[in-house]
């Protein structure tokens, strides 16, 4: 009994001490240390994941969200624009379609005080290509200055980057390519790193990275939290106002929605489930802001297959599909119908599918099939994947099946498999029609056309059109905006006629923010760059 009493006494004392010490301070979440800056610290919550904070090892939105704020690129894209402007460089100008010259701003520095020179720029590209990380963007996006050997090894072309002086960088491209300037805006391929800090042949650990962007990284705990503060040495065009910004990582959209609802995060951005967005819109304690998006979903025909090779079948399905119903029924209106593979907002965008097919019309679809002598119903195997694109994909697949079968022209068999298997079997022709998604690498319509239409697309669906190849080559080699946009229109019209794929919807750029926040709307644009420097919290 004595021993029990002693134990109880010790435990009780410990609990009291803990409670007393716990009650000794104020609520830590309400304050905290801040560096320079006028706004209060604020917290961004996201379900995006970070692959790497060293630009040489990342090619995903979760990583680039931090990278856009930590690093500079030579050029960048202002909010709600596709026009390229200077960042670390005053400007980048094409001398000719194969030569791009960039002039750095004088006095640029990294957050450790090291000067940023043309040598750092060259080093950044060289090391990204040298490291050749499978998760890095360099080996995919820098094709105009690299060569790929038969064994897959990518090397920088000899003399591709010249640095005649400390503030000048000249890129010599191996073919006329005006899209290269857009690649330079993407940190995964073109962020500038300090050659005295980043090793040449391997990635720097995430928590040690430094850049020359408006913010610097103070702390990074993978999949948990990143803490950023103002970069005191930043002299670029986008100075931040808030001394300290936290990024909280969530594994589940519902947990993020709850955190937003309870103001545990100040901004919730990417990705909330459609039903959560709908619920939060009814909550007076938060604001749901929406900007134009650039993430798309589309259905790809297996043009090499017995069913998909028949143009009339592809066109008839395009004639039947009701995108509005998909957007409202499967996504609660949180996405917009898409009538071209290029989403609205890009120069040269054209709603070619709307022009070609108008409103959904089963009667017209029937005529198309009858004219081609195709008996109905046409049996279609439609593929989708359950988790990779979110839970609403199943609703979209079911709605597509309902629409096609309601026309009386198609008999649909839905098949699904997880993403790792899906991306293998769709290339093997397992489905006549299958869903995929796309997120742009750079803000130019070319990024929605060349990867989809040249040589069967990256999804290898068997579509080939010599005219398309010629047009793409021409627009990539042209420095005339008018010429390029005219070609973009032609390519979209060809897609609507040949129907190698059927665009479905374009996502909105949605954020939910709490009281006192301002500037969130300013950064919600199709680029999906979350510009911390535009956002502030009062108080």
Partner 1 sequence: MTRAGSGSLPRYIFQRIVLVIPMIWVILTLVFFVLRVAPGDPVSAALGSKLNPQALAQARERLGFNRPLIAQYWDYLSSVAHLDFGTTFSDNQPVLRVVRDNGGATLSLTLAAFVIALAVGIPLGLVAGRYRDSVGDVAIRLFGIVSYAAPIFFVGFLLQLYVAPPLGLPTSGDASPITIFEVKPKTHILLIDVFLSGNGAAIQDVLKHLVLPAVTLGLLICGVFIRLVRVNMLMTMQADYVEAAEARGIRRRNVTWRHAFRNALVPVITVVGLQFALLLGGAVLTETTFNWPGLGQKLVLYINNRDYGAVQGIVTVFAIAVVLISLLVDIINALIDPRVRF
Contact residues for partner 1, defined by CB under 8 A: 1, 18, 21-29, 31-33, 41, 43, 49, 51-52, 57, 59, 134-135, 139-140, 148, 150-152, 203, 218-219, 221-225, 227, 246, 248, 250-252, 254-256, 258-259, 262, 264, 387, 417-421, 423-424, 458
Cα(174)–Cα(157) distance, integer angstroms: 8
Q: At what angle do helices 362-371 and 311-320 cross, to 10 degrees?
A: 170
Q: Which residues contact 84 (CB under 8 A, 6 or more apart)?
A: 75, 76, 77, 92, 181, 182, 185
Least distance in angstroms from the C-beta of 4 to partner 1? 10
In the complex, minimum distance from the CB of residue 8 to partner 1, in angstroms, rounded to a whole number: 13
Contact (Cβ atoms closer than 8 angstroms) between residue 344 and residue 403: no
Q: Tell me the C-alpha distance between 288 and 281, whole Å.
A: 6
Between 51 and 509, name the residue whose CB sits nearer to partner 1.
51
To the nearest 10 degrees (0 to 180), the angle between helices 274-281 and 253-261 is 10
52, with CB counted inside 10 A (0-12, 13-18, 19+), is: buried
In this complex, which beta carbon is closest to partner 1, that of residue 260 or of residue 496?
260
CB 148 to partner 1: min, Å: 8
- Minimum distance of partner 1 from residue 411's CB (angstroms): 27
Q: How far is the CB of 468 from partner 1 (least distance, A)?
A: 21
Query: Strand pairing partners for 300?
Result: 434, 501
DSSP reduced 3-state for 317: helix
Rounded to the nearest whole angstrom, what is the least distance from the CB of residue 229 to partner 1 in the complex? 10
Q: Is residue 503 within 8 Å of residue 341, measured between CB atoms?
A: yes
Residue 224 neighbours by CB distance under 10 Å: 11
For residue 417, report the phi and psi dihedrals to the nearest 5 degrees. -155, 160
Min dist CB 55 to partner 1, Å, is 15
- 222 or 406: whose CB is closer to partner 1? 222
Closest separation in Å from C-beta 500 to partner 1: 18
Helix (H, G, I), strand (E, B) or coil at 115: strand
Q: Give the phi and the psi of residue 489 in degrees, each rounded to 5.
A: -60, -45
Full DSSP string of 355-386 = HHH-S--HHHHHHHHHHTT--SSEEEEEEE-S
* Residue 212 · residue 115 · CB < 8 Å: no
**Beta strands 168-172; 99-104: pairing state:** antiparallel
- Spatial distance between the Cα atoms of 359 and 322, rounded to a whole number of angstroms: 8
Cβ nearer to partner 1, comparing 94 with 458: 458
Residue 174 or 224: the one with the smaller Cβ distance to partner 1 is: 224
Least distance in Å: CB of 460 to partner 1? 11
Alpha-carbon dihedral 91, 96, 98, 100, rounded to 10 degrees:
-10
- H helix runs in 152-191, sequence order: 180-183, 187-190
- Pick 230 or 365: Cβ nearer partner 1: 230
Helix or strand holding residue 139 (H, E): helix 138-141
Rounded to a whole number of angstroms, the minimum distance from the CB of residue 407 to partner 1 is 32
The single residue listed with the structure tokens 């042949």 is 201
Residue 147 CB, nearest approach to partner 1 (Å): 13
Residues found in the chain: 539
Shortest distance in whole angstroms from residue 345 CB to partner 1: 24
Residue among 91 and 460 whose Cβ is closer to partner 1: 460
Q: Are 104 and 115 in contact (CB under 8 A)?
A: no
Rg (CA), the chain: 26
Please report which helix (H) or strand (E) contains residue 92, including its range. Answer: strand 89-96
């Amino acid at each position: 009994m004595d021993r029990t009493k002693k134990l109880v006494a010790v435990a009780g004392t410990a609990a009291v001490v803990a409670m007393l010490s716990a009650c000794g301070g104020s609520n830590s979440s309400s304050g905290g240390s801040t560096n320079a800056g006028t706004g209060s610290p604020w917290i961004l919550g996201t379900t995006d994941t970070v692959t790497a904070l060293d630009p040489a090892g990342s090619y995903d939105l979760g990583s680039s969200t931090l990278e856009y704020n930590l690093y500079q690129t030579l050029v960048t894209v202002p909010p709600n624009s596709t026009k390229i402007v200077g960042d670390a460089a005053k400007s980048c100008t094409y001398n000719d379609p194969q030569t791009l010259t960039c002039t750095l701003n004088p006095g640029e520095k990294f957050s450790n005080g090291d000067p940023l020179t043309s040598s750092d720029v060259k080093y950044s590209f060289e090391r990204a290509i040298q490291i050749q990380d499978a998760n890095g963007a360099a080996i995919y996006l820098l094709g105009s200055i690299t060569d790929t050997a038969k064994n897959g090894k990518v090397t920088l072309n000899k003399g591709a980057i010249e640095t005649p002086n400390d503030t000048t960088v000249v890129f010599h491209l191996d073919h006329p390519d005006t899209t290269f300037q857009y690649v330079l805006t993407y940190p995964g391929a073109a962020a500038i790193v300090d050659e005295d800090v980043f090793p040449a042949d391997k990635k720097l650990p995430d928590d040690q990275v430094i850049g020359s962007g408006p913010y610097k990284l103070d702390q990074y705990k993978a999949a948990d939290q990143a803490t950023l503060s103002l970069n005191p040495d930043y002299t670029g065009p986008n100075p931040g106002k808030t001394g300290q910004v936290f990024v909280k990582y969530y594994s589940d959209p519902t947990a993020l929605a709850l955190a937003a609802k309870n103001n545990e995060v100040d901004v919730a951005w990417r990705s909330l489930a459609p039903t959560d967005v709908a619920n939060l819109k009814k909550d007076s304690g938060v604001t749901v802001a929406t900007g134009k998006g650039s993430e798309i979903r589309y259905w790809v025909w297996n043009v090499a297959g017995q069913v998909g090779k028949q143009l009339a079948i592809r066109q008839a399905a395009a004639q039947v599909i009701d995108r509005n119903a998909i957007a409202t029924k499967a996504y609660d209106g949180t996405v917009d119908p898409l009538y071209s593979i290029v989403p609205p907002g890009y120069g040269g965008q054209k709603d070619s599918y709307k022009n070609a097919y108008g409103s959904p019309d089963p009667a017209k679809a029937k005529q198309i099939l009858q004219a081609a002598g195709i008996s109905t119903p046409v049996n279609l195997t439609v593929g989708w994947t359950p988790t990779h694109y979110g839970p609403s994909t199943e609703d979209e697949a079911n709605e597509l099946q309902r629409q096609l079968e309601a026309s009386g022209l198609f008999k649909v068999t839905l098949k699904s498999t997880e993403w790792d298997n899906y991306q293998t079997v769709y290339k093997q022709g397992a489905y006549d029609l299958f869903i995929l998604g796309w997120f742009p690498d750079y803000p130019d319509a070319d990024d929605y056309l060349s990867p989809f239409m040249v040589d069967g697309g990256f999804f290898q669906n068997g579509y080939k059109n010599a005219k398309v190849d010629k047009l793409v080559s021409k627009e990539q080699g042209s420095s005339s905006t008018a010429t390029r946009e005219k070609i973009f229109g032609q390519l979209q019209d060809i897609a609507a006629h040949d129907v190698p794929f059927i665009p479905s919807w374009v996502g909105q750029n949605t954020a939910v923010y709490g009281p006192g926040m301002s500037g969130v709307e300013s950064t919600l644009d199709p680029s999906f760059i979350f510009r911390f420097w535009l956002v502030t919290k009062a108080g």
